[in-house]
């Protein structure tokens, strides 16, 4: 990923997405006004942060990439597999219980928020479509990556082989200790757990979200996958981590928009 800086606000971009066709960014926790434990660029009102601070943070977030917040499509994410294909009528309407968004419309920013779960971005340069997904272990194993690719196929006639995917900062295998339930669910979802979830001692397991999402995307037919391999729990200086901060923290934003 490439680190960009817009005034006080840093954000990351994937190298494989052409800037002239796709506006996008994965933001950090830096450059906002929220106080600890939400310091500082928390975008979510689902955590008990000061609402005025969140509104100011959102203003800064949109201003950093030069889009109007009122033009964005946002979600309430539930670790599920619902994907919404959205258009201009969905602007400024929060999509309830939705973990995937796709659009073929230019100038329609898709926005999601994260703290350990994986931001997945998709771009089809042939059909002119973008997508975003919120993929934690639960959503990943339930098939959110396959669902968002399928929605791009169904709604826009995309060929999975044309789609470029990118996996953003998320809790990595260095820090993601899980129980035997996740190990069993990994086998149920993928038919194997090799390289995705392995025994870590003391009856605990290690889950590799980055690899699991990449595997899910490749099984859906996506051939081009860029990975950040940046761990949110190792890097609480830059990102929010639900796990590393014991559940009381903010959410950093990610935005993707097709340009005209
Ligand atoms: Zn880590």
Q: What is the pLDDT of residues 127-159, one digit of tens each?
A: 999 999 999 999 999 999 999 999 999 999 999
Give per-residue pLDDT as tens, 61-83. Answer: 999 999 999 899 999 999 999 99
In the chain, the number of structural domains is 1
* Comparison of pLDDT for 93 and 28, the residue scoring more: 28
- Cα(202)–Cα(200) distance, rounded to whole angstroms? 7
209 located within any domain = no
What separation in Å is there between the alpha carbon of 200 and the centre of ligand 1?
14
What separation in Å is there between the alpha carbon of 231 and the centre of ligand 1?
5
What separation in Å is there between the alpha carbon of 235 and the centre of ligand 1?
7
What separation in Å is there between the alpha carbon of 123 and the centre of ligand 1?
27
Range of the domain at 153: 2-169+224-258
What separation in Å is there between the alpha carbon of 229 and the centre of ligand 1?
10
Q: Is the pLDDT of residue 176 over 90?
A: yes
Write the burial class of residue 174 (CB in 10 Å: 0-12 exposed, 13-18 middle, 19+ buried). Answer: exposed
143 located within any domain = yes
120 located within any domain = yes
206 located within any domain = no
Q: Is the pLDDT of residue 250 over 90?
A: yes
What separation in Å is there between the alpha carbon of 72 and the centre of ligand 1?
31
81 located within any domain = yes
What separation in Å is there between the alpha carbon of 176 and the centre of ligand 1?
7
Sign of the alpha-carbon torsion through 25, 166, 253, 151 = positive
pLDDT given for residue 93 in this prediction = 83
State the greatest distance between any 2 C-alpha atoms of the chain, in Å, as a whole number: 53
Q: What confidence tier does 1 reach under pLDDT thresholds 50, 70, 90?
A: very high
User: What is the average per-residue pLDDT within 208-232?
Assistant: 98
What separation in Å is there between the alpha carbon of 173 and the centre of ligand 1?
6
Go through the chain and tell me how many residues it has: 260
For residue 149, give the 3-state DSSP assignment: helix
Q: Which residue from 216, 20, 44, 202 is spatially nearest to 123, judged by alpha carbons?
A: 20
What separation in Å is there between the alpha carbon of 63 and the centre of ligand 1?
30
pLDDT given for residue 233 in this prediction = 98
207 located within any domain = no
What separation in Å is there between the alpha carbon of 91 and the centre of ligand 1?
35
What separation in Å is there between the alpha carbon of 223 and the centre of ligand 1?
26
What separation in Å is there between the alpha carbon of 174 and the centre of ligand 1?
4
191 located within any domain = no
What separation in Å is there between the alpha carbon of 177 and the centre of ligand 1?
10
User: What is the average per-residue pLDDT within 194-219?
Assistant: 96
What separation in Å is there between the alpha carbon of 141 and the centre of ligand 1?
20
Sheet with strand 83-85: strands edge to edge = 83-85, 100-103, 129-135, 118-124, 164-167, 224-227
What separation in Å is there between the alpha carbon of 249 and the centre of ligand 1?
17
Give per-residue pLDDT as tens, 29-59. Answer: 999 999 999 999 999 999 999 999 999 999 9
Give the CATH number, domain containing residue 110: 3.60.140.10
Q: Mean pLDDT of all residues in the chain? A: 97
214 located within any domain = no
Beta strands of 83-160 (E only): which ranges? 83-85, 94-95, 100-103, 110-114, 118-124, 129-135
User: What is the average per-residue pLDDT within 1-6?
Assistant: 97
What separation in Å is there between the alpha carbon of 175 and the centre of ligand 1?
4
Model-level pTM?
0.96
pLDDT given for residue 119 in this prediction = 98
User: What is the average per-residue pLDDT within 188-200?
Assistant: 96
Q: Is the pLDDT of residue 92 over 90?
A: no
């Amino acid at each position: 990923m490439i680190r960009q800086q817009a005034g006080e606000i840093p954000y990351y971009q994937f190298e494989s997405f052409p800037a002239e066709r796709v506006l996008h960014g994965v933001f950090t926790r830096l450059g906002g006004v929220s106080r600890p434990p939400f310091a500082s660029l928390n975008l979510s009102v689902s955590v008990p942060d000061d609402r005025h601070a969140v509104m100011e943070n959102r203003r800064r977030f949109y201003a950093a990439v030069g889009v109007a917040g009122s033009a964005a499509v946002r979600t309430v994410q539930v670790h599920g597999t619902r994907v919404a294909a959205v258009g201009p009528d969905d602007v400024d309407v929060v999509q309830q219980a939705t973990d995937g968004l796709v659009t073929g419309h230019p100038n329609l920013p898709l926005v999601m928020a994260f703290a350990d779960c994986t931001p997945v971005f998709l771009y089809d340069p042939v059909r002119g479509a973008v997508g975003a997904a919120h993929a934690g272990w639960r959503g990943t194993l339930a098939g959110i990556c396959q669902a968002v690719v399928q929605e791009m196929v169904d709604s826009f006639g995309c060929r999975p082989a044309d789609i470029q995917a990118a996996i953003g900062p998320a809790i990595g295998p260095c820090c993601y200790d899980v129980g035997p339930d996740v190990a069993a669910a990994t086998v149920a979802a993928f038919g194997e757990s090799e390289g995705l979830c392995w025994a870590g001692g003391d009856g605990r397991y290690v889950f590799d979200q980055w690899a699991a999402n990449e595997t899910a995307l490749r099984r859906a037919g996506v051939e081009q996958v860029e990975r950040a391999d940046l761990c949110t729990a190792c890097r609480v200086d830059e990102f929010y981590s639900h796990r590393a901060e014991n559940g009381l923290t903010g959410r950093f934003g990610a935005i993707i928009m097709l340009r005209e």
